[in-house]
Structure 1
């Protein structure tokens, strides 16, 4: 890599907040200076890198948020999430996949040096409320990257060719600014091309997405989430590095979530496992909302602790809401 490319890489990694890549390029520059006989300069660079690595992270640092401009401002919603993977209650298999994604991203320079690519194109599949959106936030938070939510309501238009043009703008942003780009309700784009209700424009949109995704060799993470994997085009699976499956929580996972949400607000002796059985069939999001509703009731009633009966009542309320939604969906 030439000096010009190295300086460019330094600026880009600083812009993206990628400290690991910044330090790696700085050490490359130090090696170049050492080979040129500039030992003192090389040692100073190494000392600065070592000092920066050992410095504890600042809690008061203000991060400049990458805000899309122009046409992209309507297509992308940008944020810097504070979530971490520890906030996500998941089964062992899913946790292992997510940990591997984070590890590979943190060793991106070493992996790229051997001609390999880290996992960064992920398909998230599962029922609503099981943690797909939280995963996008948690990955962005873990890696210190901005999260960009692609607004499909703006992206997809009725005008021929306009959706593909906007999609290209999104992928240009993916290449220009490293971040986590999240396509929620992805089946709006990725439905099978051979479906009976398919139209020519829908096929062109999907073909454009497949082509752009395959040609994308950026350092950004591209996440697509769907509640309906059965209608996705099979060609999509080959373009993603990993498919992550999300399921409703079992009793142990429901218990963990209830503890996270209510520990310290319930009496000291709580039959957590018994309480978790009351959440059977509910999603993570529904359990979390029921817990919050019970806590709000206690606050409004000026009670020192949350009543377990109130938690059970709120869980049952969510169950009734779910049943009503299913019934109305079936009628529709």
Structure 2
């Protein structure tokens, strides 16, 4: 069941009429129950939250700003729930393995937001508009989850399939609704695969509607002065429009792990197994060129084989076999 801290958080957010955080904690409880195998309870909790969030004129906690914003979007024939997906965020900064440069930059953003009131006394504001660049599986989406977790904010991911429309001007209207929500409800907003709307305007594949969408995004993005964090992530920074880069407060470049980072990741991922006597250096050539996502899947494969066939005793050959299969 829910931990004491989660129960206290639910009561606090209910009293504070903070719908977004109430929903986030409720979904965290549902996910925790699912991991324990309590699938019916988890499904019931998710269904209750979803029913309340989608019921006309009702919210989970309050009838405040969040309810008003949803009503106004419906009046404009725009369903904000089809554009922004509330994602699970329960990853702490000390649970992830990244390069030292990324770690320092992310910790700085977190610290700036924790001390935003102190910065405001000197007419300063924390970094809010962040661009994450790098190959797939290197920790960009995970970073958005870390920011949301550490700052105790909801995490919303933009649904591009709901945003892009074939009708002239409709996409820009949806984009305006998204930025209205960003202004009204403080949260972390993730624009994943950002190059879908941020590709440069002189692309040979460019069409008029795409150019208008980018122009609209640039305007809304520059005009935004909310307290929300806007995190854009892309695997292809080279195709982004040059006008975008100067509008970000920070640009963080991600890369595939070096051997020391990969070794630390493997030990973190397999912390339930006794690795103290294992010499992992023979795995060095096998992990070269692999992403964190690839490493994670290989570790999970090795862990399952270890439990099913080796009585929970992990060894290097098991890891090597799993890494070889994932590198094919």
| Range into which the TM-score falls when normalised by the shorter chain | 0.7 to 0.9
Q: CA deviation at 1:186?
A: 0.4
| Structure 1 vs Structure 2 CA RMSD | 2.4
Structure-1 residue corresponding to 2:170: 162
- Partners of 1:238 and 1:67 in 2: how far apart? 37
2:205 maps to which of 188, 197, 212: 197
- Partners of 2:230 and 2:53 in 1: how far apart? 18
Structure-1 residue corresponding to 2:287: 279
- Partners of 1:244 and 1:273 in 2: how far apart? 29
> Does 1:270 pair with 2:278?
yes
2:214 maps to which of 206, 215, 219: 206
> Does 1:107 pair with 2:124?
no
> Could you say which structure has the larger radius of gyration?
1
- Partners of 1:16 and 1:131 in 2: how far apart? 29
Counterparts in 2 of 1:33-44, with a 5 A limit?
none
2:144 maps to which of 136, 146, 161: 136
Counterparts in 2 of 1:234-273, with a 5 A limit?
234-273=242-281
Q: CA deviation at 1:304?
A: 2.3
> Does 1:72 pair with 2:75?
no
- Partners of 2:198 and 2:136 in 1: how far apart? 18
Cα 1:226–1:169 change in 2 (3 A) is: same
Q: Is the 8 A contact 1:87 1:138 kept in 2?
A: no
Unaligned runs of 5+ in 2: 1-13, 22-48, 55-69
Counterparts in 2 of 1:306-325, with a 5 A limit?
306-320=314-328
Q: CA deviation at 1:133?
A: 0.5
Q: CA deviation at 1:80?
A: 4.4
Q: Normalization by structure 1: what TM-score? A: 0.75
> Does 1:231 pair with 2:239?
yes
Q: Is the 8 A contact 1:150 1:182 kept in 2?
A: yes
Q: CA deviation at 1:16?
A: 7.8
Cα deviation code 1:221-258 (max 9, x no counterpart): 00000001110001000111000100000000000001
Q: CA deviation at 1:17?
A: 8.5
Unaligned runs of 5+ in 1: 1-10, 19-63, 321-332
Aligned residues: 266
Q: Normalization by structure 2: what TM-score? A: 0.76
Q: CA deviation at 1:266?
A: 4.3
